[in-house]
């Protein structure tokens, strides 16, 4: 069996071209979609992510505004910047790059973002509306996975999907979204985690396995049935002396081992990652569109 490679770069590029036309139409109505980004500290990975998101804004013709604070910034200083974005009419979406140096205040910071500007989909109001199937901003990585499946011609409706990982960012919201009565859902979902017994027995029943566990080789060939679809959300640094930087990026699935057994699989990098940024832009453009109603 030759697996279909689900190329997130190609799918996201297609979606971004569609977004460009929407942005042109919004600008004609006097609205330029704007993203406010808050970066606290000097974490290299966070800096890289923020730069990629800002570049995407520029490529699409969107407005972006970055506020940078030192790692020593106080709770009050961080919340003040969030509120400045809340009150800025040019900013339709707010992104606070996580993790924060002080993880203990992350939820309070997220709670401070106005729900109508919560384009990450992390605010409790957004989460509640998602659970009820109401209009809201959906979290970007899970939403990107659903669009990747749809645009690749892989049917979630009626499928048995097993999700490995129960994080609030990926596993739990993705499980909910897949089970909703919607054109991206209607699946039967099993959520597995570190306390699940006989996980492999469950994954071998799945039509689609989505792995977001944060550990290389969590999903191996013996854990899937022939012809299953594998979506790998993980991004891990694995030591590799053959690489100039001393490491390579790998997902949570044994990609090489699964290639000959599954019908479709996402690579790492180049799979789900590009979809996450694209869905952030989708949410920001949607927020700008909604601003015309108010």
- Residues recognised as catalytic: 53, 97, 120
Using CA atoms, how far apart are residues 185 and 266, in angstroms rounded to an integer? 19
- Tell me if residue 33 falls in helix, strand or coil: coil
CB contact at 8 A, 164 and 203: yes
Using CA atoms, how far apart are residues 191 and 162, in angstroms rounded to an integer? 6
- Tell me if residue 264 falls in helix, strand or coil: strand
Residue 13's CB is within 10 A of a number of other CB atoms, namely: 12
Number of continuous H segments (helices) and E segments (strands) in the chain: 10, 11
Q: Which residues pair with 208 in a beta bridge?
A: 161, 229
* CA-wise closest residue to 163 among 141, 182, 181: 141
CB contact at 8 A, 87 and 114: no
Place of tokens 């520029």: 58
CB contact at 8 A, 263 and 1: yes
């Amino acid at each position: 069996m030759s697996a279909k490679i689900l190329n997130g770069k190609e799918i996201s590029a297609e979606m971004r071209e569609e977004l460009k036309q929407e942005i042109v139409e919004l600008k004609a109505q006097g609205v330029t979609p704007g993203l406010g980004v808050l970066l606290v500290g000097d974490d290299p990975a966070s800096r890289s992510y923020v730069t990629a998101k800002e570049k995407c804004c520029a490529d699409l013709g969107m407005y972006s505004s970055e506020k940078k604070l030192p790692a020593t910034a106080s709770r009050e200083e961080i919340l003040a910047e969030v509120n400045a974005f809340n009150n800025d009419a040019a900013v339709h979406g707010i992104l606070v790059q996580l993790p924060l140096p002080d993880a203990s205040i992350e939820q309070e910071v997220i709670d401070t973002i106005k729900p109508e500007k919560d384009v990450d989909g992390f605010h409790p109001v957004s989460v509640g509306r998602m659970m009820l199937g109401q209009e809201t901003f959906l979290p970007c990585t899970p939403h990107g996975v659903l669009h990747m499946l749809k645009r690749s011609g892989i049917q979630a409706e009626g499928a048995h999907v097993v999700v490995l990982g129960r994080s609030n960012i990926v596993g739990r919201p993705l499980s909910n979204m897949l089970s909703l009565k919607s054109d991206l859902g209607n699946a039967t979902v099993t959520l597995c985690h570190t306390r699940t017994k006989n996980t492999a027995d469950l994954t071998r029943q799945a039509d689609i396995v989505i792995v977001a566990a944060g550990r290389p080789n969590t999903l191996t060939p013996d854990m899937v049935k022939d012809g299953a679809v594998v979506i790998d959300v993980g991004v891990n640094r694995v030591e590799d002396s053959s690489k100039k930087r001393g490491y390579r990026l790998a997902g949570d699935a044994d990609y090489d081992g699964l290639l000959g057994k599954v019908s479709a699989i996402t690579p790492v990098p180049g799979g789900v990652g590009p979809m996450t940024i694209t869905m952030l832009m989708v949410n920001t453009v949607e927020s700008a569109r909604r601003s015309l109603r108010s």
